[in-house]
Chains A and B, each alone.
Chain A
Amino acid sequence: MVFEYAPAPESTKIVNLKSNYELFIGGKFVKSKAGSNYKTINPATEEVLSEIVEASEKDVDEAVKAARKAFKSWSKLTGSERGKYLYRLARIIQERSRELAVLESMNNGKPIRESRDIDIPLVAAHFFHYAGWADKLDYAGLGKNPQPLGVAGQIIPWNFPLLMLAWKIAPAIAAGNTVVLKPAETTPLTALLFAEICQQAELPDGVVNIITGAGATGKFLVEHPDINKVAFTGSTEVGRLIAQTVAGTNKKVTLELGGKAANIVFDDAAMDQAVEGVINGIFFNQGHVCCAGSRLLLQESISDDFLNLLYERMKTLRLGDPLDKNTDIGAINSAAQLAKIKELTNAGKSEGAEMWSAPCDIPNKGFWFAPTVFTNVSLSHRIAREEIFGPVLSVLTFRTPDEAIEKANNTPFGLSAGIWTEKGSRILEVAHRLRAGVVWANTFNKFDPTSPFGGYKESGYGREGGRHGLEPYLKAGK
């Protein structure tokens, strides 16, 4: 081999991990009242990073009380005063971006290139964006002087730990709410570092409370009677339970759930860029992306040529140490997720689809799955219908634009979709007919704080981001 890249690991020295973390309630790290502890690990090495509290019902109650207390004064602050705090948070996030990126990669398994170039810059961008909204709520399209709802209970997933925190916390507190946020069980560490940043920014006590734990803790939070708003990003399964729990209460809900997005490549697409877009669509963040382009819909006339290009490109993907700056594919976040990916890929094989994986050395420790493509997939196969949430692409073909649209829409989900064609009129027509919350044309997985994001059908309801992202956190004014 010529010009083999030497290891280029990002140093972990910048991160000051504590051996254990407490709950962040009322501006302080406090001991749990009754919760037990669990260990959080690095999924690339299975090494224990720290010990975390599994918050009890009593802890959740304390956190909600602290948020309720803070709401009284926080909601009375002028928008520009609240905005100052958000700007401060955004700037500290930028200043400490390397530390946050390294910690995110350690706890999540995602490549440092992504946490450094995508996750953390977007986190700061979200706080900046909503900092700007704090004193302009009259212009959010919700009438004059819209009012905050109160205390928001927020539950976020493990795929973009800090980014999902930003999506939840920034609009909520900009609008004058206070929050109790539960990070995912497997990825609590950047949320806890964010708690330290709240202290550093001298954010008033109780405006942001971070409680760690698993499903039970989340359930306590959702069921808590003094919560005014529930915001959840995660699986459709849990989303359904949450919807049932809050039904009949006054709690407002937004749910951002699963997806099974179609990435449609027409015969007149710019081939190399479409290949790149398909790669980015499904292998970004190991495919742990709710809006991942997990179904490739390929026009039959180009399918052989396209797949050859795709396979060749996939052979260059570099799987391994998430902290190495040249890594493209990091670790699967947990043993449980890896088991789920394996279960579904085994189902794909047994249902008769053909599996191809990029040749790569799988490290001995940690959780890994090679980038994989299934061909000969039918819409009835589980791998074409269920969200795999891993680096697995299912390829289907189509003959006409109508057929492409029909197949793309034939899913219980409707979060995102992609269109690849050099023909502008086709983009407009197809986008119009796709039932998906986000449609990308000649690009994929593009995120921007100014752009609303959310789904149709079983992908959830409510929008996050942009002006639309304020609506779930405000009562309309006069």
Chain B
Amino acid sequence: MLKDDPLVLPSILRDATNSDSALKKFLNGLSGVDKVGVEERVAKLGTRSIKTTAKAEGIDLSIRMIDLTTLEGMDTKGKVKSLCAKAKRPDPLDPSVPSVAAVCVYSDLVGIAKENLIGTNINVAAVATGFPSGRVSLAAKLQDTADAVSQGADEIDMVIDRGAFHEGRFLDIYDQIQAIKHTCGAAHLKVILETGELKTYDNVKKASWIAMLAGADFIKTSTGKVQPAATLPVTLVMLQAIRDFETATHRRIGMKPAGGIKTTKDAMKYLVLLKETLGDNWMNPNMFRFGASSLLNDLLMQRQKMKNGAYSGPDYVTVD
């Protein structure tokens, strides 16, 4: 299985990670990203009109792609419990609504989430590695990851060291991701770039490559704690990096925009971007996730509206 062994890379890419200077050279050799062009392309795709059957399909697909998230200092067992209930059965009135893909929590709450999702296909994702800033030692990051994995986390959402990125220590980031990946074992690794702190699309592209080269299963835009979080242009740049990486390695990396995606309309725009950039192979929860909390209720309200012909309002969906 190619995908499970991040070290199986074409020789040119293996050489790129041999030294700090080789990696820097490789990343600087990637073609640039033109800001105006990316934003124009996104604006144009934003005019796609998603109606009737496409909208219904898009809503259910979006629900199935959600990493239902709570990442607050005030998170409690009770909160996680009710989130798990919502994840299993998003709309208590309508059993035809699919479950979400995963519940995403801090690592100390993984056990609670696991317990409450027994007997379902819903994964538990844990943010780890000193989330959200990542400003702890590698040892602490590894411990954080190991804790989450030992409690049964199926997926680890790690953050990269943005300070290292801005210092140009790309190989350090690469090494850290590899170390975390190793600690993950069978758990899937999502690498959060925190694009709101990388600032330029060129940086986003470079960071995407570092993460993919180092063995990320998914690349993810944001922690949700920094503004801006996920945006459509940033997502497009990352999707195109994923496409280029597949061309070079035949490995398919997943994508997770997270933070700030609140409405059905937003979600449809992301699906359009995904479909027209990477195509049908990525149009499933194994390859694409939404990191979101409030998005689910808007999807449910739109779903009810499509079904009943009338908009129900926020009192007809649960606030968990």
- Point out residues on A near B: beta carbons under 8 Å: 1-8, 113, 117, 268-274, 276-277, 308, 316, 325-326, 422, 442-443
Contact A3 B33 (CB under 8 A): no
Contact A2 B61 (CB under 8 A): yes
Which residues of chain B come closer than 8 Å to A277, judged between CB atoms?
A: 37
Contact B31 A3 (CB under 8 A): no
A120 to B275, CA, bound (A): 29
Contact B38 A273 (CB under 8 A): yes
- Residue of chain A at shortest CB distance from B280: A2
Q: How far is the CB of A242 from chain B (nearest CB, A)?
A: 37
CB contacts under 8 Å to A, within B5-52, are 31-34, 36-38, 40-41, 44, 47-52
Which residues of chain B come closer than 8 Å to A1, judged between CB atoms?
A: 280
Given known contacts A6-B53, A272-B37, A325 and B31 CB-to-CB distance under 8 angstroms: no
A4 to B271, CA, bound (A): 11
Q: Which of A2, A8, A442 has the most CB of B within 10 A?
A: A2
Contact A270 B31 (CB under 8 A): yes
A278 to B4, CA, bound (A): 38
Q: Which of B31, B50, B53 has the most CB of A within 10 A?
A: B31
Q: How far is the CB of A310 from chain B (nearest CB, A)?
A: 14
B58 within 8 A of A: yes
Contact A273 B275 (CB under 8 A): no
Contact A6 B52 (CB under 8 A): yes
Q: How far is the CB of B217 from chain A (nearest CB, A)?
A: 21
Which residues of chain B come closer than 8 Å to A422, judged between CB atoms?
A: 31-32, 34
- Residue of chain B at shortest CB distance from A308: B247
Q: How far is the CB of A441 from chain B (nearest CB, A)?
A: 10
Which residues of chain B come closer than 8 Å to A272, judged between CB atoms?
A: 31, 33, 37-38, 41, 240
Contact A3 B37 (CB under 8 A): no
Given known contacts A6-B52, A8-B49, A316-B276, A442 and B37 CB-to-CB distance under 8 angstroms: yes
Which residues of chain A come closer than 8 Å to B51, judged between CB atoms?
A: 6-8
Which residues of chain B come closer than 8 Å to A443, judged between CB atoms?
A: 36-37, 40
Q: How far is the CB of A126 from chain B (nearest CB, A)?
A: 21
Which residues of chain A come closer than 8 Å to B61, judged between CB atoms?
A: 2-3
A4 to B50, CA, bound (A): 9
Which residues of chain A come closer than 8 Å to B276, judged between CB atoms?
A: 316
Contact B280 A273 (CB under 8 A): no
Q: How far is the CB of B277 from chain A (nearest CB, A)?
A: 8
B55 within 8 A of A: yes
Interface size on B, residues (CB 8 A): 30
- Residue of chain A at shortest CB distance from B55: A6
Which of A4, A7, A113 is B47 in contact with, Cβ under 8 Å?
A113
Which of B31, B40, B47, B275 is A2 in contact with, Cβ under 8 Å?
B275
Give me 13 A-to-B residue pairs in the complex whose CB atoms sit less than 8 angstroms apart, sorted by A's number. A2-B283, A3-B58, A5-B49, A6-B51, A6-B52, A6-B55, A270-B31, A273-B33, A308-B247, A325-B47, A422-B32, A422-B34, A443-B37
Which residues of chain B come closer than 8 Å to A325, judged between CB atoms?
A: 47-49
A3 to B277, CA, bound (A): 13
Contact A5 B50 (CB under 8 A): yes
Contact B37 A5 (CB under 8 A): no
B57 within 8 A of A: yes
Contact B41 A5 (CB under 8 A): no
Given known contacts A1-B280, A276-B41, A326-B49, A6 and B31 CB-to-CB distance under 8 angstroms: no
Contact B54 A4 (CB under 8 A): yes
- Residue of chain B at shortest CB distance from A276: B41
A113 to B55, CA, bound (A): 19
A5 to B38, CA, bound (A): 23
A277 to B52, CA, bound (A): 32
Contact B54 A276 (CB under 8 A): no
Which residues of chain B come closer than 8 Å to A274, judged between CB atoms?
A: 37
- Residue of chain B at shortest CB distance from A421: B32
A443 to B34, CA, bound (A): 10
Which of B31, B47, B50, B55 is A271 in contact with, Cβ under 8 Å?
B31
Q: How far is the CB of A56 from chain B (nearest CB, A)?
A: 44
A197 to B9, CA, bound (A): 65
Which residues of chain A come closer than 8 Å to B41, judged between CB atoms?
A: 272-273, 276
Which residues of chain A come closer than 8 Å to B47, judged between CB atoms?
A: 113, 117, 325
Given known contacts A268-B31, A270-B33, A3 and B54 CB-to-CB distance under 8 angstroms: yes
Which residues of chain B come closer than 8 Å to A271, judged between CB atoms?
A: 31
Q: How far is the CB of B306 from chain A (nearest CB, A)?
A: 12
- Residue of chain B at shortest CB distance from A442: B34
Q: How far is the CB of A55 from chain B (nearest CB, A)?
A: 38
A270 to B39, CA, bound (A): 13
Given known contacts A3-B271, A5-B50, A273 and B55 CB-to-CB distance under 8 angstroms: no
Q: How far is the CB of B37 from chain A (nearest CB, A)?
A: 3
Q: How far is the CB of A277 from chain B (nearest CB, A)?
A: 7
Which residues of chain B come closer than 8 Å to A117, judged between CB atoms?
A: 47
Which residues of chain B come closer than 8 Å to A3, judged between CB atoms?
A: 54, 57-58, 61, 271, 275, 283
Q: How far is the CB of B299 from chain A (nearest CB, A)?
A: 14
Which residues of chain A come closer than 8 Å to B283, judged between CB atoms?
A: 2-3
Q: Which of B49, B61, B271 has the most CB of A within 10 A?
A: B49
- Residue of chain A at shortest CB distance from B43: A117
A49 to B247, CA, bound (A): 48
